[in-house]
Chains A and B, each alone.
Chain A
Amino acid sequence: MVEPILFVLMSMAALAGAVTVVAARNPVYSAMGLLGTLFSVAVLYVLQLAHLVAAVQVIVYAGAVLTLFLFVIMLIGVDKEEHWEEPLRYQRSFVAGMAGVVVLMAAGLTFFTDFDWVPAAVGGTDPSRTIGTVQAIAEPMFTDWVLAFEATALLLTIAAAGAIALAHYRRRPH
């Protein structure tokens, strides 16, 4: 009984955080909303027995990435005047309406049709595969998924080279 209650609570917290990120006018509040979402999702990972992913989520995302965000926000300046004129009027209400329609459709599908969210779960119930310890994740990561793991190295190289390529530009003095 604990699991569904925690799930509902944490999902709602995650959603509330996500809404704060886009709705808050002060970017620091947005960052705090993101923090809330990241923490709630970490709890959801624990519910799925993915302990390592949950820990990584808290350490890397909530810890490192969010601090970086806050640094950037502080560097740019929190108290700057912002222009809030929307080029497209009613843009936000339109998006909110669309989101409502999607949620209603999903709810309708779930409750009134024979829609099946997991129609053919063939794998998944093997208990040794559902425990997200470091070992359980490291083994497939460095055997079956080693190529995917190495491919992410390309991403890091691109990030470094791209940052230099974009930031190293100097306007010629005239």
Chain B
Amino acid sequence: MITPEISWLAILPELGLALGAAAVLLVEVQWKPRAQVLGMVVAGALTIALAFTVVQWIRAQDAVAGAGQLGDLVAFSRMILMDGFAVFGRFALLVTTAIGITAGWRLIEGLGRRRAEALALILLASAGFSIMVSANNLVMVFLGLEVGSIALYVLAGMTRSSSTSDEAALKYFLLGSFASAIFIYGVALIYAGTGQFEILAIRSFFSAFIVTSPGVILIGIALMIVGLGFKVSAAPFHAWAPDVYQGAPAGFVGYMAAVAKIAGFAAIARILITGLGDLEVNWLPVVAGISALSMVGGSLLALVQADIRRMLAYSSVATAGFVMTGVVGGATSGVLFYVAVYALQLVGSFAVVAAVSGPANSASSMDEYQGLATRSPGLAAGFTILLLGMAGLPLTSGFVAKFGVFSDAWSAGYQWLVIVAVLASVLAFAVYLRVVVNMYMSDAEGPTLEVPDTARWVLMIAAAATIIWGILPGSLLDLASSAFPL
């Protein structure tokens, strides 16, 4: 009798999320409760999952310090990991999920009886992306990617009353399926070339052998970069981002974009830096090119947008480019720090968008932000902090994150990329400043804005995190730097 190798601790966070999703659906069917009750079930599931990631974190740090076995961190027949990198990624995902649900709460309440499905889909998406950040096997990466993405396609189409939401969901679904197919083709070619699905085994393969004609492996790497580049909306695979960010319900967009970015970059960092680090001469120039194109193209296009959501979409393309400089620099922890910090700012920004133009609405013209400072001073102040954080102003967390990845890319010998990145940062600065000027320097139109409490909390947390980690980055930087992959 052969028994599978099971270590529960490694999957308890995902299990918590999945059981939470099941509980939400069953509670809804059985009792049809008020939205707050479902919210409490979700909060319980997220708390349990977070608690288990803390346990995993302690276990991982002990193992690295020599108090435990490093092999204990590789679980389920080497399918899934709980090294520092995976656990930090999981933690960032769970926090983003909690804040994302809070930010979208008004929308979820407004969905009527469909709110249970929406909450379950959010939890399952997070479970999928959580598998993706901690997978050691390329098949598991793909499964996590699909579980997460398919749930996001549905979330993009949740507000059925507007056709833009349907359009966003359909576009996201069609293009996303192609990207996933391209990714899995890349995985298949890597398997053909190395005979391995495991990221750690692929690393040992390339440190043991020199492949004389690696053509098929190179095609595989290229296809995987395309597939994952799509998920993090890096140029030139970003075409879906503006339409989806604009069309999907504002209450969900922040969450959708943030978790996809965290998981996508965690997978990119683990596959490229850890798994294929020995082949970096081959992929570094490609990733550097994508990075430069995303930064410059994203910033330029963001500058000319008349809709704030499209602006945020293009600025997230630019941010994907900035994070990619960290991949070029080989900085796994820098990449993770940047996306974790950016995820909060993104969720906060879309909480503002949802508060200003309605959580289910799809058009969010820049004009609506004119004189926002007089219509709702708190909202404008919080949004300003988040925008400056995204721009990377000193004394915000965005600056620390950018400085980290840029310095790594510089010492990796990619000085030209850092110069391009700094120039693009200046450009991005103009993008964000335009909104700030719009909010403060023009006359108010319309009445005082009614801001929901949930949006206020989200904004306060995100803005506080942006400033605190900007002035005292030590605590999070320490955490991120001990979050290296095996």
Contact = CB atoms under 8 A, between A and B. Distances in A.
Interface of A: 109, 113-124, 139, 142-148, 151-152, 154-155, 157-159, 161-162, 164-166, 168-169, 171
A124 B117 contact: no
Interface of B: 2-6, 11, 18, 21-22, 25, 76-77, 79-80, 113-114, 117-118, 120-121, 124-125, 127-128, 131, 137, 139-140, 143-144, 146-147, 150-151, 153-154, 157-158, 160-161, 192-195, 205, 209, 211-217
B186 to A, nearest CB: 15
Contact of B195 (A120, A169, A171): A120
29 contacts: A109-B215, A114-B213, A119-B217, A120-B193, A120-B205, A120-B211, A121-B192, A122-B194, A123-B195, A143-B5, A144-B4, A144-B79, A147-B140, A151-B128, A154-B18, A154-B124, A154-B147, A155-B143, A155-B146, A157-B124, A158-B124, A158-B125, A162-B117, A162-B121, A162-B150, A165-B114, A165-B118, A168-B117, A171-B161
Contacts of A148: 79, 137, 139-140, 143
A14 B214 CA distance: 28
B121 A158 contact: yes
A126 to B, nearest CB: 11
Given A147-B11, A166-B160, A154 B77 contact: no
Contacts, number: 127
A35 B6 CA distance: 40
B76 A147 contact: yes
Contacts of A146: 4, 6, 76-77
B209 to A, nearest CB: 6
A161 B117 contact: yes
A166 B121 CA distance: 12
B77 A144 contact: yes
A157 B21 contact: yes
A118 B193 contact: yes
Contacts of B121: 158, 161-162, 165
B140 A151 contact: yes
A31 B291 CA distance: 41
Per CB-CB distance, the 3 closest pairs between chain A and chain B, nearest first, are: A165-B117, A162-B154, A169-B160
A22 B2 CA distance: 46
Contacts of B146: 155
Contacts of A158: 121, 124-125, 147, 150-151, 154
Contacts of B213: 114-116, 119
A120 B209 contact: yes
Contacts of B6: 146
Contacts of A143: 2-5, 77
B4 to A, nearest CB: 4
A119 B157 CA distance: 44
Contacts of A161: 21, 25, 117, 120-121, 124, 154
A117 B18 contact: no
A139 to B, nearest CB: 6
A35 to B, nearest CB: 20
B193 to A, nearest CB: 5
B80 A147 contact: yes
B131 A164 contact: no
Given A118-B216, A119-B212, A142-B4, 20 more contacts: A115-B216, A117-B192, A120-B194, A120-B195, A121-B195, A122-B194, A143-B77, A144-B5, A144-B79, A146-B6, A146-B76, A146-B77, A154-B18, A158-B147, A161-B154, A162-B117, A165-B154, A166-B157, A168-B114, A171-B161
Nearest to A118: B192
Nearest to A153: B18
B124 A151 contact: no
